[in-house]
Amino acid sequence: MEMTEKKWNLELLHLGKMRCKKSRMILTENPEEEIDIPVSAVLLRHPDYGNVLYDTGNAEDWSECLPESIQQGFPVTEWVSIRTALKKKGLSPEEIDVLILSHLHFDHAGGLREFAGTKAGNAVRISRSELSHALVKVFTGTVGGYVKSLIDVPGITYQPVDQDTVLFPGLTLFLQQSHAPGLIGLEVETENRGTVLCVSDAVYLRENEEKELPPDSPNREVAQGFLEHLKLLQKRREQTGAVILYGHDLKQEEQWIEEEESDR
């Protein structure tokens, strides 16, 4: 009997949008230009290994819990609950087997509360260095994208990731030293898109890659680190024949979701 290897099915969940200065994402000639960026999660399903979710979007009470500085820099213009997005796929938070957070910024960890007390919520995968970093931030009142009420949640327990890990056959977590300490990326062999590298905020936009431009940062090291990491990712892509899923690229998100809907 011939066995065909089963692979993961990858779907993007649209969890809303934010608006920001384009320069927060990429160096640009016009510092006042604004763009819409999507907030999304990745749903991976496998007939043998179950349901894996990567990120959770913004919090329902974003207008109350996000500090003024974040609300001014990244106003939320659309919010979709992770619960609603999962429901559209016929799933509930209770049916997610593994939840991975790329990092603990508000627009990725905001829906964590929906997983309190669930199987996935009992072992949320996060990089150990990012968890330490975020906890110091929120317990010392320094912001930088971290909000205490979103990540210190009753009913949520973290399972720190210390190194690159094969979570299941065809699904590897890799730690990236860019944007956040140990930002988790996924390398996943999918049925519907071949090998995909989900890089989260290590690369925000396709344009970052095409123009080889980092975000506009006063810190030269940040820009340098961004470009060096981009090169690593490009090498990894060449070796695996993968496509890159960018962290906040509206065009790519819209295109992928459109394709998923026409596939059905």
Residue 233: CB minimum distance to Zn ion, A: 16
- Spell 178-217 as b/e; 16+ CB within 10 A means b: bbbbbbbbbbbbbeebebbbbbbbbbbbebbbeeebbbbe
Q: Sign of torsion, CA 86 113 55 59?
A: positive
Angstrom distance (rounded) from CA 57 to CA 109: 6
- Chain residues 53-82 in contact with Zn ion, contact rule CB under 5 A: none
x/- map, 148-167, Zn ion, by CB under 5 A = --------------------
Could you say whether residue 187 binds Zn ion (CB under 5 A)? no
Two structure tokens written together for 262: 């026409």
Residue 138: CB minimum distance to Zn ion, A: 17
Closer residue to Zn ion, CB minimum distance, 187 or 201? 201
Q: Which of 189, 201, 209, 253 binds Zn ion (CB under 5 A)?
A: 201
Contact 147, 67 (CB under 8 A): yes
Contact 87, 41 (CB under 8 A): no
Closer residue to Zn ion, CB minimum distance, 118 or 200? 200
Residue 124: CB minimum distance to Zn ion, A: 17
Could you say whether residue 253 binds Zn ion (CB under 5 A)? no
Closer residue to Zn ion, CB minimum distance, 201 or 249? 201
Q: Which amino acid is at 32?
A: E
Residue 108: CB minimum distance to Zn ion, A: 6
Long-range CB contacts (within 8 A, 24+) of 31-35? 31/216, 35/250
Residue 131: CB minimum distance to Zn ion, A: 17
Angstrom distance (rounded) from CA 229 to CA 93: 33
Piece of 42-50, 102-110, 120-128, 149-157 that binds Zn ion (CB under 5 A): 102-110
**Number of neighbouring beta carbons within 10 Å of residue 96:** 22
Piece of 3-11, 60-68, 105-113, 128-136 that binds Zn ion (CB under 5 A): 105-113
Residue 117: CB minimum distance to Zn ion, A: 26
User: Edge-to-edge, what's the strand order for the sheet holding 98-100?
Assistant: 76-79, 9-21, 34-46, 50-54, 98-100, 124-127, 158-161
The torsion angles phi and psi of 60, rounded to 5 degrees, stand at -60, -40
Number of residues this chain uses to bind Zn ion (CB under 5 A): 2
Residue 54: CB minimum distance to Zn ion, A: 12
- Chain residues 23-42 in contact with Zn ion, contact rule CB under 5 A: none
Closer residue to Zn ion, CB minimum distance, 107 or 253? 107
Q: Which of 107, 130, 189, 249 binds Zn ion (CB under 5 A)?
A: 107
Q: Which residues bind Zn ion (CB under 5 A)?
A: 107, 201
